Amino acid sequence: MMIEKYFQDKSRIALAFSGGTDSAFLLSVAMKNGCDIRPYYVNTQFQSQHEMDDAKHFAEIIGAPLKILNFDLFNIPKIIQNDGDRCYHCKYAIFNLIKAAAHDDHCELVIDGTNASDDAKARPGMRALTELEVHSPLRECGLSKIQIRELSYQEGLATWNKPSNSCLATRIPTGMPIRKEALVKIERAENYLYELGFRDFRVKVFNGDAKIQLQKTQFNKACTLRIDILNKLSQYFDDVFLDFKCRD
């Protein structure tokens, strides 16, 4: 099925919107095909401020009525204890919230940006989507990440080459309880690196230390700015390391 046809027989639907490449493309296609689509962004402690700012900016540019739902994930012990099924419990809670908001707004179904490249075995949260009957048009239409980026580029969407991101909780090792203070430190550290011009990176933590994961093309830049990075990140972490297992 062509993605455009997916929306032709839909009236009002809800979209779990992150502002990333996939959900931005879905929002654009749905609106261009006359679908009354309602994007919802769930704001939690696991998302950085700039992620929400990006989502709001894209929705404003495209003229979509973005609704922000604030949610405290620290009220759910199974999420905060950070066991192997954390992602499942987190996805279930977030999409359950979206479903409730969508029901109040008289939406006929909820969709998300899962695509054909996403591996269900590597993404335990996808089980929650099945249980809550959340639809994934990109996956159902067989669109891969590469294809979505190409189509987004053709449509002139600024998100076509936006790096994939994951929530701040993924920076904390499985089995280590998630603390608000740790998330704040991670966000501040990543914001600083972003301001220095780094892209598609992670700052992972363990026992008070930070491990920076970069693309190999950015190693030289990190070495050049070594003193600045150490001075800044040492405000938040005991030691700072550069992970030579590069991200690309």
- Domains of the chain, first to last: 3-161 (3.40.50.620), 179-243 (3.30.70.2210)
Q: Quick: pLDDT tens for 157-216.
A: 999 999 988 999 999 999 999 999 999 999 999 999 999 999 999 999 988 999 999 999
| pLDDT, tens digit (0-9, with 9 covering 90-100), for 59-84 | 999 999 999 999 999 999 999 999 99
Q: How far apart are CA 76 and CA 53, in angstroms?
A: 25
pLDDT, one tens digit per residue, over 109-161 is 999 999 999 876 667 788 999 999 999 999 999 999 999 999 999 999 999 99
Q: DSSP string spanning 160-210? A: GGPPP---GGGGS-TTSPP-HHHHHHHHHHHHHHHHTT--S-EEEEETTEE
> Residue holding tokens 């690309």?
248
Show the beta-strand stretches assigned E in 28-140.
Answer: 36-43, 67-70, 110-111
pLDDT band at 87; cut points 50, 70, 90: very high
Look at residues 207, 216, 214, 213 and name the one whose alpha carbon lies nearest to residue 239.
Answer: 207
Element (H, E) at 143: none
Type of residue numbered 103: H
2 vs 165: CA distance, rounded Å: 26
Residues forming a β-bridge with 36: 12
Q: Supply the DSSP string of 105-124, one letter for each residue.
A: TT-S-EE----TT--TTT-T
**Count of residues for the chain?**
248
pLDDT of residue 246: 63
